[in-house]
């Protein structure tokens, strides 16, 4: 019985993540096409997808490599772009604090924007927004962990296969960026947001993030997005605390 429950959680994690691959796979394909034309070459492109596994940071790294940017600056830029994952970790911590440090690190490596959206939605639906007061029962905890793992692995495998497909296609596509594929990923995130439960804190967070991102859109290195995320999350957290104390 226990195995059937945890296997069901694995299957649910894969099922809930599969629709997002429609928006992710084209970007992996484009990265493979572009990466093999840079100093990375085919092997380096595949290695970056395997060991870095951060779509937006990988594309930024390609542009910096093409501009001859020093490697330390590329690493720093990648760190700044991915700082939003610290915010993801903070919101997931109440749901995974019962896991061992090894498991938390392993799941953190595979976390992406898409898998985060899937996992946090699942956790809130199953455990509610007040998770963390008590550890879940052993069987439930195992199921939550496997759901998280399945979502991460589905995204990881898709990214590796689509990158490899782009590398193999090689020069058969002269200008991959002309496909207009950059529109697919925002549509996916709009669909994810539409399915969320919206309370006052969520609405204020969304409004603040959108306003700050618009005002700070010309900041170098996409720092405006980071600023929007930090301010919106802080204000949203403050509103949430205020609501609970009323």
* pTM, to two decimals: 0.72
* pLDDT (average), residues 230-237: 76
Q: Give, in order, the Cα–Cα distances in Å from 220 to each of 57, 81, 227.
A: 15, 11, 12
Q: What is the mean pLDDT of the chain?
A: 79
Coil, helix or strand at residue 69: coil
Q: Give, in order, the Cα–Cα distances in Å from 72 to each of 2, 61, 109.
A: 48, 11, 21
149-175 pLDDT, tens digit per residue, is: 999 999 999 999 999 999 998 767 666
Q: Give, in order, the Cα–Cα distances in Å from 235 to each of 142, 200, 202, 214.
A: 33, 11, 10, 17
* pLDDT (average), residues 94-101: 86
So what's the pLDDT on residue 1?
45
Q: In whole angstroms, give the CA distance from residue 16 to residue 118.
A: 7
> Packing angle between helix 113-127 and helix 138-169, nearest 10 degrees?
160
Residue the block writes with tokens 């992710």: 24
């Amino acid at each position: 019985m226990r195995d059937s429950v945890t296997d069901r959680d694995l299957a649910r994690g894969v099922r809930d993540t599969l629709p997002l691959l429609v928006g992710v796979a084209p970007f992996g394909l484009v990265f493979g096409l572009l990466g093999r034309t840079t100093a990375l070459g085919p092997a380096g492109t595949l290695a970056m997808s395997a060991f870095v596994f951060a779509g937006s940071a990988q594309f930024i790294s390609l542009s910096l490599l093409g501009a001859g940017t020093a490697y330390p600056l590329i690493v720093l830029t990648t760190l700044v772009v991915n700082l939003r994952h610290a915010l993801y970790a903070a919101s997931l911590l109440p749901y995974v604090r019962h896991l061992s440090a090894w498991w938390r690190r392993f799941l953190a490596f595979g976390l992406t924007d898409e898998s985060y959206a899937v996992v946090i939605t699942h956790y809130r639906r199953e455990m509610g927004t007040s998770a963390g007061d008590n550890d879940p029962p052993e069987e439930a905890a195992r199921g939550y962990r496997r759901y998280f793992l399945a979502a991460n692995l589905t995204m990881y495998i898709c990214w590796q296969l689509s990158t490899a497909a782009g590398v193999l296609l090689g020069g058969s596509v002269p200008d991959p960026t002309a496909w207009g594929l950059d529109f697919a990923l925002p549509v996916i995130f709009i669909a994810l947001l539409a399915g969320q439960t919206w309370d006052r804190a969520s609405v204020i967070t969304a409004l603040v993030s959108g306003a700050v991102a618009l005002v700070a859109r010309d900041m170098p290195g996409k720092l405006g997005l980071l600023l929007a995320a930090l301010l919106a999350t802080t204000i949203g957290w403050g509103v949430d605390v205020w609501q609970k104390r009323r």
